[in-house]
Amino acid sequence: MPSLATQVKHPYIVKRRGVCGGKPIITGTRVSVWAIAGWSCKGYSAEKIQREIYPSLGLAEIYDALSYFHDHKEGIDRQLAKNSLSSREARRRQAQWRLTLLSKVG
């Protein structure tokens, strides 16, 4: 007798060529798993990520991204390291961005 069950491990996570470098994202968005994992690693709860960072996402999507992160921790950790800025670099880019804006206004 054939099984009626369908195995679905991460129903909200996809990889699409040409979208976010083919890295895992939440279906129908450009929100990457590594971005959500990064907020979690900074101490944000799933509820806080949803409320303050990605209010357009549902909690199930965020929890699925976190589940995917834990299932693929090594790869997502590499993506986090590659995409994370040091505090110094973030300040440098912010200052550069402000100068660019000021030059366009003035």
62: in domain: yes
| pTM to 2 decimal places | 0.74
Q: How far is CA 36 from CA 46, 50, 52, 92, in A?
A: 9, 10, 12, 24
The whole-number average pLDDT for the span 18-38 is: 92
Decide if 6 is inside a domain.
no
Please say if the pLDDT value at position 15 is more than 60. Answer: yes
56 lies in a domain?
yes
67 found inside a domain: yes
**Residue keyed to tokens 């299932």:** 71
Domain tally, the chain:
1
Instruction: Give the mean pLDDT of the chain.
Output: 87
Q: Measured on CA atoms in the order 38, 35, 16, 5, is the torsion positive or negative?
A: positive
Q: Which two tokens stand for residue 48?
A: 């806080």
pLDDT beyond 60 at 52:
yes
d(CA 68, CA 13): 8
SS3 13: strand
Higher-confidence residue of 46 and 2: namely: 46
CA 63 to chain CA centroid, nearest Å: 12
List the beta bridge partners of residue 13: 26
Residues with Cβ within 8 Å of residue 21, at least 6 apart in sequence: none
Give residue 58's pLDDT: 97
Give the domain range for residue 55. Answer: 13-105
The predicted structure's pLDDT at residue 25: 94
40: domain CATH number is: 1.10.10.10
